[in-house]
Amino acid sequence: MDFLVLLLGGAVLGLAGVFVRLADTTANLGPFASAFWRMAVAAPFLLAWAAVQWKLPRKACPPATRIDPAQTPPQWFGKRPAPPALLTHWPTWGLALFAAAMFALDLVFFHLAVTWTAVGNATLESNFAPVLITLAFWVITRNAPQPAFLAGLAAALGGAALMIGPNFGHSRALLGDASGLVSAVFYAAYQVGIQQARQRLSTAPLMAVVTLLAAVALWPFALAEGRPWPTAAIGWVWVLGLALLVQIGGQVVIAYAVRRLNPALSSVGLLVQPAMAVVYAWILLGEALTAPQLLGAGLVLAGIYLARKGM
């Protein structure tokens, strides 16, 4: 059941790029503005959820049952030791601020990528984050990853080359692909910050604070862009989809399911997000991939899976 919940969350997250593109094309809402509204609309709901969670244990749960091993943060590397606590000396507020800033920058570049290149390309490229995290820990700890990781890295890079290849000669699309890869860097940093902060805070207050701070960080981008408001009512439909379905529904559902699943199984299930993004873009936006790009997409998915397995 938890694995099906994980698949559902990943499938919902796959809609993010489609909603961003539709907000831009049907309501002239800029990519930075859609990122801001995604956070700003979701924040009050998450704050309310955190408030409810704050009160529930005191009223409904006896002290002996408050500690639930199933709710401890999952190990990133399966049976391997947890990654070094790089930010362990940081105060909790510093970790939350860092995670929010990295998430905001991730959204800035991801939303740019969705606007400039194919939605499928942007989503697949942003999912390079786990690969980048492992590369960073390789450099820091000098512990070489398993051969499966290196094979996955090679497959993912080869697949990305096949997907990006048709965009050479089209500067805007090529910039979009570059933005998608840059977003993966910031998303990787966000994941590190969240992993460290999760040692001290439960999911509800952490997600609420990070979402609120990210909204504050994104507001200047939305203002500078000059398109902070939808010019048509349909734009608010896409904003609500981003906030309620993607930010709350997708993220919360995945957070609920991942902590109860084996990390290897979770890695497979989360691949549904970029895969479904390609399908949604094809059905809703008419973005059909060429045969080489389809092969590249398959290589990227296989590469990410192997890389995660080799962590």
- For residue 227, give Cα distances in angstroms to 36, 37, 42: 11, 12, 20
Task: Tell me if 168 is assigned to some domain.
Answer: yes
pLDDT at 278 > cutoff 90? no
Per-residue pLDDT band at 15 (split at 50, 70, 90): very high
Cα–chain center distance at 10: 10
Helices (H), 28-72: 31-60
> What is the Rg, in whole angstroms, of the alpha carbon atoms belonging to the chain?
19
Name the packing angle between helices 16-27 and 119-126 (round to 10°): 140
Cβ neighbours of 184 (radius 10 Å) = 23
Residues 6 or more apart whose Cβ sits within 8 Å of residue 220: none
* 280 close to 14: Cβ distance less than 8 angstroms: yes
Q: Which residue has the higher pLDDT, 23 or 127?
A: 23
Task: Tell me if 184 is assigned to some domain.
Answer: yes
pLDDT tens by residue, 120-173: 888 888 877 667 776 776 776 667 667 777 787 788 778 777 777 766 667 788
Lowest pLDDT segment from 25-34, 172-181, 227-236, 262-271: 262-271
* Residue 22: burial class (beta carbons within 10 Å; 0-12, 13-18, 19+): buried
- Where residue 83 falls (left for φ over 0; alpha for ψ -120 to 50; beta otherwise) is beta
pLDDT at 50 > cutoff 60? yes
Lowest pLDDT segment from 92-101, 235-244, 298-307: 298-307
The tokens 């962590």 sit on which residue?
311
Task: Tell me if 174 is assigned to some domain.
Answer: yes
Task: Tell me if 217 is assigned to some domain.
Answer: yes
The tokens 């390609």 sit on which residue?
278
Task: Tell me if 67 is assigned to some domain.
Answer: no
Q: Which residue has the higher pLDDT, 308 or 68?
A: 308
8 is written with which tokens? 């559902």
pLDDT tens by residue, 90-116: 888 888 899 999 999 999 999 999 999
pLDDT tens by residue, 226-236: 999 999 999 99
* 179 close to 112: Cβ distance less than 8 angstroms: yes
Q: Which residue has the higher pLDDT, 278 or 66?
A: 278
* pTM of the entire predicted model: 0.79
Task: Tell me if 69 is assigned to some domain.
Answer: no
Alpha carbons within 13 angstroms on the beta-carbon side of residue 187 total 22
Q: Rounded to an integer, what distance in angstroms lies between the CA atom of residue 253 and that of residue 146? A: 30
Q: Rounded to an integer, what distance in angstroms lies between the CA atom of residue 92 and that of residue 200? A: 7
Q: How many domains does the chain have?
A: 1
Alpha carbons within 13 angstroms on the beta-carbon side of residue 173 total 13
pLDDT at 1 > cutoff 70? no
Q: Rounded to an integer, what distance in angstroms lies between the CA atom of residue 43 and that of residue 214? A: 9
Task: Tell me if 277 is assigned to some domain.
Answer: yes
Q: Which of 24-33, 257-266, 289-298 has the highest mean pLDDT?
A: 24-33
Task: Tell me if 215 is assigned to some domain.
Answer: yes
Tell which residue, 72, 199, 80, has the closest CA to residue 134: 80
Q: What residue numbers bound the domain in which 117 lies? A: 2-57+76-309
Per-residue pLDDT band at 81 (split at 50, 70, 90): very low
pLDDT at res. 3: 67
Angle at 142 between CA 137 and CA 148, to 5 degrees: 70
Per-residue pLDDT band at 33 (split at 50, 70, 90): very high
Cα–chain center distance at 102: 11
The tokens 């969350």 sit on which residue?
9
